[in-house]
Amino acid sequence: MMGTADRAIRGKKEAAKKMQGPRYWIPEEVLGSAGFCSLGASERALFLELVSQLRVTPHTSEICNNGELTTSPTRMKLRGLGSKATVRKAARRLEEVGLIQQTRKGGLHHRANLFALTYLPLNESAKLDFGAEGYQMHAYRKYQSHLKLVKSSS
């Protein structure tokens, strides 16, 4: 006869087997950074949307498109990210805190802006306006919050 603990463990294993599809990896260092902690809801939503666009090569499981992440209005609307102005403002804020870096300036010939997540290496591509020499990996580490921690007096 199976005990309650055994059923719980078996249930978790079965649930893990059923979970399929992509998973997204964001380091704790990024989630705990001053920049990430200072973000509002729209900015966090855009960050997660950009993370969800990462793709891996089938055989090596290495990320292959960091630098080609888009904020195209069509995609953003489908993902429920609001107006173009909201997305632009959120992208600017993500750049300001160093979590993303713009890799291609869009607008001309209906080209979308492209971005890279700075916690990952840049995947160079002919689509980008620059190569690895212009990329600032881990730029979020340089951001210092303007909020001052107040020491409580005991």
Tens of pLDDT, residue by residue over 33-79, are 999 999 999 999 999 999 999 999 988 889 999 999 999 988 999 99
CATH class of 27-141: mainly alpha
Q: Give the Cα separation of 114 and 109 in Å (integer).
A: 14
The amino acid sitting at 95 is E
- Is the Cβ–Cβ distance between 87 and 76 less than 8 Å? yes
DSSP track, 63-93: B--TT-EE--HHHHHHTT---HHHHHHHHHH
pLDDT attached to residue 152: 46
pLDDT attached to residue 58: 87
Tens of pLDDT, residue by residue over 77-116, are 999 898 999 999 999 999 999 999 999 998 877 788 999 9
Q: Give the Cα separation of 7 and 52 in Å (integer).
A: 33
- Is the Cβ–Cβ distance between 133 and 117 less than 8 Å? no
